[in-house]
Structure 1
């Protein structure tokens, strides 16, 4: 009798999903799973990781009939009950038939509600009808240690229904990378038995090196001169209790450091949410201050940087992976993070502290903000979930061999 194929369906909405799913997809392919990727938003998935995974055997599936209904036909309709009927007839039922014929054994989607976003909503309903295990995988990394992390939570209060994630208990499992991330979800009413702490394949050392090499092949030119030491600063999401004016003061001070170039990288959520608008770029950019293109991977920028300054982004973990001198400008946010007093970064409490860090790093080519021991300890806690690196991907693949609903 012919052995039944093991097929996985990954629903990918944005680059961040792909970035965190890619190492799991790669390992699944290596373990003889057939993997189908469906891009569920208007983002077409054009990225070096998509090309790489396609070359490894992943199948990018275009559900044109579902996209046509959701993006072209549905917006022209009105009325709650009419939309519910149309969603069932032209969304859920066709998705159900397709998924049944394909014979998927599991569905993987980003962190978010079980109802899904965009085209994913029909596929998730169909998956539940078919009683398939549906796993919610990380699409980012939660670095915060405090409860009230953004302006919306301050305005509405942490008990507001907007921060109640109990709907996500309908997932088969919700995967998190560390105990700190698990605590965040527990506080938002996801049951402990639904949560699994498996570590972060995205930030593992083995995948980090492979990912960097792939990115460097695809982005040989980052569009700025590299004839001077490069100071790289990552911006956080402004409404996550960030001090924007102090950040601009820091950029102004960095511009005075002689014989250097400063590169600003906006947050992946966009220029208004966590970057510089066109007007702000006109005011701040100069012959020595540059703004990175959104399409240039942060891994490549860190590779070319002499040092990294960060205060509100998980990309700081990438700086740790690449052994870069790393400044944690914690005074720019009211939040506390996993980088504070972590032993892997220089903790700066003022603009003056950052400038001191920059000057010392420029003077000494061997400046280090971490030891091998503190780096290993940090990665073990926040990336490997207190287990060996090799066990992280094993945990993810074991999900697909268990029958959980």
Structure 2
């Protein structure tokens, strides 16, 4: 097999690397194409690891298309879906709308000669990869969309756009039917996206390759433990994962908890801002920044922070699974939001019901008196989030099996 993977940003690479790894282990010739010409692929530890395989090739989109003059058009902005410059956004959309960019993408794919094209979650017409989607369609190459994350929510209305769509009966996910396969990692995400329009005939449930234990152990070794900016001595190092504020979060109560933790002398608080932009209010950021007990971090990988931590507070991200896999204490303060998640479903970890109880659990941890986390509940979380609701199996292998089953013997000289 000769699968080609299209990568957009850190999260894509995080969740797609184990699938590429499995393909490489099975002696497939793998090509990865970076859709952001400025992404630091040569320093990304996951990509560095994959480049140790002789059958792996890493390229950038401008190189593949042979458009060195158009490099600025492939520098993605903060949302990682469109060029950073408005001028190049307009130009890129115009080229795609008129299909002129296909004149470059079609021969480029012929030269690469893939048996399947693998994209991350998102609409086929996404600006960052539309040329390649259309080229694959023209050439009859299977198009597969795989997870760029692990969806923890067990209900459909996690944000306003979905709430409104549910009320109006809008099929907001129907565009995903353009793929030959659209893959989910949890039962509840598959149910949600089926409700919003993904057809059963191309809708697959596998699991999370990113948190599959064998890959997670490899991935963990890529990162050193974070070294706090100050000496923490005998303090309890607590990493607080900021949520998406718009996902039904009680922002006031959450910020109040952060303020309370920042005043505790026995706590060293590390606030991990969300990888996709959500952060502290500017006034609170300024006050926290001057507090020696507190660090605010955006650009250090969560794996490194969790390695350094004694406890992780998280209620809006699948990164809690990483905390459990690293055998750290995980606090899930469900009272800070009105969502239902896999952490509620599994009852994994510590589940405080007030800010005071959250502080008390951390204090007990600092004193060495905290109760053990239930292994049965943790295993249920893994069943839901890693294994797609099934008992343990080789998740990356099943992703590769799907790609192989859809792959064609397409040859460039036949087109």
Q: TM-score, normalised by structure 1?
A: 0.88
Q: 1:76 to 1:333 in 2, by over 3 A?
A: closer
**1:250 alignment counterpart:** 257
CA distance in structure 2 between the aligned counterparts of 1:78 and 1:201, rounded to whole angstroms: 33
**1:171 alignment counterpart:** 179
**1:3 alignment counterpart:** none
Superposed, 1:1-400 pairs within 5 Å as 6-41=1-36, 43-46=38-41, 47-57=44-54, 58-64=56-62, 65-66=66-67, 68-69=69-70, 71-72=72-73, 83-84=94-95, 87-89=98-100, 91-118=101-128, 120-154=129-163, 156-159=164-167, 164-216=172-224, 221=227, 223=229, 225-227=231-233, 228-270=235-277, 274-276=278-280, 278-285=282-289, 286-292=291-297, 294-340=298-344, 342-364=346-368, 367-371=371-375, 373-387=376-390, 389-400=392-403
Which is worse superposed, 34-43 or 359-368? 359-368
- Unpaired runs of 5+ in structure 1? 1-5
Q: 1:269 to 1:161 in 2, by over 3 A?
A: farther
Equivalent residues of 1:204, 1:389 under 8 A apart: no
Equivalent residues of 1:7, 1:36 under 8 A apart: yes
CA distance in structure 2 between the aligned counterparts of 1:40 and 1:222, rounded to whole angstroms: 33
Secondary structure, aligned partner of 1:402: helix
Deviation at 1:180, TM superposition (A): 1.4
Which is worse superposed, 30-39 or 250-259? 250-259
Secondary structure, aligned partner of 2:155: coil
Q: 1:354 to 1:69 in 2, by over 3 A?
A: same
Deviation at 1:296, TM superposition (A): 1.2
Q: TM-score, normalised by structure 2?
A: 0.86
Which is worse superposed, 389-398 or 182-191? 389-398
- Unpaired runs of 5+ in structure 2? 75-82, 409-415
CA distance in structure 2 between the aligned counterparts of 1:222 and 1:133, rounded to whole angstroms: 47
Which is worse superposed, 33-42 or 327-336? 33-42
Give the aligned CA root-mean-square deviation in angstroms.
Answer: 2.7
CA distance in structure 1 between the aligned counterparts of 2:51 and 2:247, rounded to whole angstroms: 36
Deviation at 1:9, TM superposition (A): 0.9
Deviation at 1:265, TM superposition (A): 0.5
Equivalent residues of 2:226, 2:305 under 8 A apart: no
Secondary structure, aligned partner of 2:346: coil
Equivalent residues of 1:151, 1:241 under 8 A apart: no
Deviation at 1:17, TM superposition (A): 0.3
Q: 1:225 to 1:108 in 2, by over 3 A?
A: farther
Task: Give the number of equivalent residue pairs.
Answer: 390
